[in-house]
A and B are shown apart, each in its own frame.
Chain A
Amino acid sequence: MTLRQKRELFYGLLFVSPWIMGMLMFVLYPVLASLYYSFCYYSVLSEPKFIGLGNYFDLFTDSVFWGSVLNTFYYAVFALPLGIAISVTLAMLLTVKVRGVTIYRTIFFLPSLLPVVALAILWLWIFNGEYGVLNFALSKLGIEGPNWLAEKNWAMPALIIMSFWGVGHMVVIYLASLQDVPQVLYEAAELDGASWWHKARHITLPMISPVIYFNLIMGIIGTLQIFAQPYIMTGGGPARATLFYTMYLYDNGFRYLRMGYASAMAWILFIIILLLTLVATRISRKYIYYEGG
């Protein structure tokens, strides 16, 4: 290494040192500490006591833990694919050249700008069984709406429906990727007599598949970590019907002060997300089309 290279390395390290220090102190250390605490009985005010895999074994016999896992997957299995389907469909509709299309695009994007708390309060009103606008609309169609958030069987579907409110972000990304699909492909397909469905199935979807894959990965991470909306809207109720994984993790860590147990939960969640991402990546090799090869 020349003197000049050494000097550049020194300056480089010096200039990124504020970030490195922040990362070491506020990311790496807590991550490693949580790994250690996951093997400890740690009630925060007492010294952590090493118990090996005790917390992990306890979790496997904890029915509330399994309930929260089930709830989280229930939510993810419906919210994520449906969210992707809705946003792709909307994006495709918004590429149709009609008057005022930019206004429609803005309208679909606007809701996703709303802060989480305001959104939760708004939906509390929409879902109100007695006075909510949703049940009012259903009543006009002759349907008696359920007591959404107050019913054990309806609280989760309500949260899934609410999750579609934020598809605007995904729609914008799909819109951008749809602009990149070469028009010549559609023209060639039209010459061959392809229908709208065939063009969508054989051109549009393969061409935007890398973006769908990106949204899928982000969606897996996001839906498995859902916290704020159910925490504000239902607090996990009724009867733990909307107690999500991260909420139970939070309860253990900050309400019951079982930080070792909560740390074990955090690591299990990390492993689940990692595995699902790896699976998605593996599958993507077969189904995702990259233009560059």
Chain B
Amino acid sequence: MTAPLLEIEDVVVEYPLRGFRQAPARVLHGISLDILPGETVGLVGESGSGKTTLGRAVLGLAPVTGGEIRFRGERISGIGTKARRALSRDIQVVFQDPYSSLNPAMTVADILTEPLVVAGASRADADRRVRDLLDEVHLPQDAGQRLPREFSGGQRQRIAIARALSRDPAVIVCDEPVSALDLSTQSRVLDLFIEIQERTGVAYLFITHDLSVVRHISHRVAVMHRGELVETGDAAQVTSDPRHSYTRTLLLAAPVPDPARQAARREERHRLAAARA
């Protein structure tokens, strides 16, 4: 049995509310989830389910007020900023919005070399690495001299992926990385994620609201609802034969591109809703 790469154990995230002695808002109610090396765990849920907050907790961007997160057995929640910075080599991120996640004033090469230069790489090494990275995400070599605004959404997301890959991380938190993209672009970017994973063995915590995306890319799927994990299992099982009623609701709510099957699905959803009422 492989030791998990990332262990999320009973994690609680609370945000203080305004006002004296006001109880804090609890966004995550004790989430436990493991990620193995080289594995994609899909995290599905609707807006407000806490899926993004869990990703931010792993990244150290959300306050973990209970439980802990371990990386290779070492606690990484609630550690100091210096220790956190050291983790940047291993834990990386690709955000949803390819428009605001790249600094509009920096060239692509500057965006890609920044993490390397911070880590102490020489300028020449960093430049060489940029060429490799652009190659890895299938962008042309001259992309480095351009600004983010010169690229389409899908290409920007490739730049964001290249930045995440720059220091060979062990795990990348992907927060809705394809949600803002057109359908055909979406499938190409997803295939890039898979290709990179097969080559480098990086693990993904893949956050999305779309069950078909998660089914395509994940080995295992975890479903979140109102700050709690309602179901975890293999991708095929969760996305085609869900056990939990909420997952079933989610699955039946997503329309399928086939009028006959969609009509059947709608019937089933209405039946399920009627049965519950």
Q: Are A and B associated in one complex?
A: no
Chain B residues near A (Cβ < 8 Å): none
Chain A residues packing against B (C-beta within 8 Å): none
